[in-house]
Amino acid sequence: MMTITSILSWTSTLINFYLYSALSIIITAWLGLDFGLSRLYVNILEKLFHFIKKNESLFLKSCDNVTSNGQSDPAVDKINGYTKHEIDQCFTAEVPESWNLLTPTWKPRDSEDTVYEVTRLGKLVYFAGLVFRFGLIFPIRLVIFVYNLVHIISALFVLTFVLPPGKLRNAYYRFMWKVTFRCATQNFGGLFRYHGTDYCFKAGGVAVSNHTGPLDIVCLADHVRYSFLGRQRNGLLGYVYKAIEVCGANIWFEMKDKEIIKDRLQARASDPSSYPLVIFPEGTCTTTDRILRFRKGSFELDCSVYPIAIKYDLRFGNPFWNSKTIGFLGICVKFFTNWAIIADVHYLAPVHRKDSETAVEFSERVRGLIADKIGLKKIDLDGYKVKYSVEETTSKLKQEKELVVKDKIERKTFSQIANQSFNFGSNGDLLTRSY
């Protein structure tokens, strides 16, 4: 039997391990060192996933998938030729090609009816992975996350109240930016590979990228000091956005202010001394295998456009975020408990709008370049409008159906009300009561 003293001793040892591990990662982020441990960790996981895929029958067994045969409402069946199911897939996390130990079941991408459950050996491996992810890497990443929040607040205080505008303040800001996103990369177990860096622009013009989630900002900012254009958020993420906006020249806006933003965009794109600006023209987060229609505002500017294509490896974790179904803290916990976040970032050659092109045609050409580079399926829909209009329409139809059913249940004839008031049933029979 373990005594209270031994339990406290083990707990203290474990806490010290978490703190010292997080501290060592934070120090390497401050110093900009890389000992190759992340690559070693990823290589070990790759071998494990390859072994599981090669010997799938040892870890997985097929079972019947219970699917709903209910018919969807014809009012939301199709939008621009796409069914509701096809639209929902744009805002649903994509399934990895093989089982990655993150879930107790696995459903292949190309099958609607087959679901695999884990065998006894699979359960053992899954449980071991669960203990490793939640018992080891999650606490360490949580400590780094808390440190990074304190780090951002302290840096914001120094930039706002201590250092006056000048070279020293700018140098401090650039350094703290690097440290912040180095820590953020380690926070999510990030390993990012950058390709075509010769096309990574320094200033002037705008860069456009496909958008999967907030980790897009992390993987880009970890490489180059970018400024970002995006929609303002609420909650904790909103405070982080505001802090970044105070520190640098980022642009966060509400949808109602989009006309005002154009002038600011043109001024930023024409300023060679400003930080390069990244725009996510889809207007919302989209799953990792699709790319929605680009909004034309980014392509009406008189400047060069630098396409960026970001492709994630789903075996290690899914970076997609649907903010309508899960909050910022919830998605952070999901990211912290992934194996890692692995991404390939492709910088493409800059493109210019032709004299004969409209803004819409130019946006489609750029979207095609990104889609072809990383194999994304193009969906000709306005992501922001569709995402919210479909959900609101579905919710409204559901509420209307519930009201109709409720109205039918509660609707009573005069005779039914009279019978009930005189203690008779709906057909006039006397009701008995027990006292």
Domain positions in the chain are: 188-382, 388-421
Cβ–Cβ < 8 Å for 368, 378: yes
For 91-121, b where at least 16 C-beta lie within 10 A, e where not — what string?
A: bebbbbebbbbbeeebebeeeeeebbebeee
Q: What sections of 270-382 are H helices per DSSP?
A: 328-336, 359-374
14-28, 49-63, 325-339: range with highest mean pLDDT: 14-28
Evaluate if residue 392 carries a pLDDT over 60.
Answer: no
pLDDT for res 425: 42
Mean pLDDT (the chain) is 80
Q: Is the pLDDT of residue 258 over 50?
A: yes
**What pTM value is reported for the model?**
0.81
* Phi/psi-derived region of residue 230, left when phi > 0, alpha when psi is between -120 and 50, beta in every other case: beta
Higher pLDDT, 332 or 411: 332
Confidence of residue 429 (pLDDT cuts 50, 70, 90): very low
Overall average pLDDT of the 219-228 stretch: 87
In sequence order, what are the residues at sequence separation of 6 or more whose Cβ sits closer than 8 angstroms to the Cβ of residue 229?
250, 251, 252, 253, 261, 265, 277, 278, 279, 280
* Percent of residues, the chain, with pLDDT higher than 90: 36
Q: Is the per-residue pLDDT at 391 higher than 60?
A: no
Residue pair 113/65 in contact (Cβ under 8 Å)? The answer is yes
| DSSP track, 204-257 | SSEEEE---STHHHHHHHTTS--EEEEE---HHHHHHHHHHHHHS--EEE-GGG
CB 249 within 8 A of CB 268: yes
Q: Which residue has the higher pLDDT, 64 or 430?
A: 64
Q: What is the pLDDT of residue 274?
A: 75
Strand stretches in 280-376, DSSP E: 290-292, 305-313, 341-347
pLDDT band of 307, cuts 50, 70, 90: very high
Q: Which of 23-27, 80-84, 215-219, 372-376 has the lowest mean pLDDT?
A: 80-84
pLDDT in tens, 140-171: 999 999 999 899 889 888 888 888 888 898 89
Q: pLDDT band at 240, cuts 50/70/90?
A: low
Are 251 and 261 contacting, i.e. CB atoms less than 8 angstroms apart?
yes
Please say whether the beta carbons of 284 and 387 come within 8 A: yes
pLDDT tens per residue across span 313-322: 999 999 998 8
Which amino acid would we find at residue 309? A
**Mean per-residue pLDDT for 325-354?**
91
Structure confidence at residue 191 as a pLDDT band (50, 70, 90): very high
- Report pLDDT for 90: 85
DSSP string, 151-182: HHHHHHHIIIIISPSSHHHHHHHHHHHHHHHH
The pair of three-digit structure tokens given for residue 127, joined into one six-digit string: 């449980």
Q: Which helix (H) or strand (E) holds 79?
A: strand 78-79
pLDDT at position 276: 82
Instruction: State the pLDDT confidence band at 65, using cuts at 50, 70 and 90.
Output: low
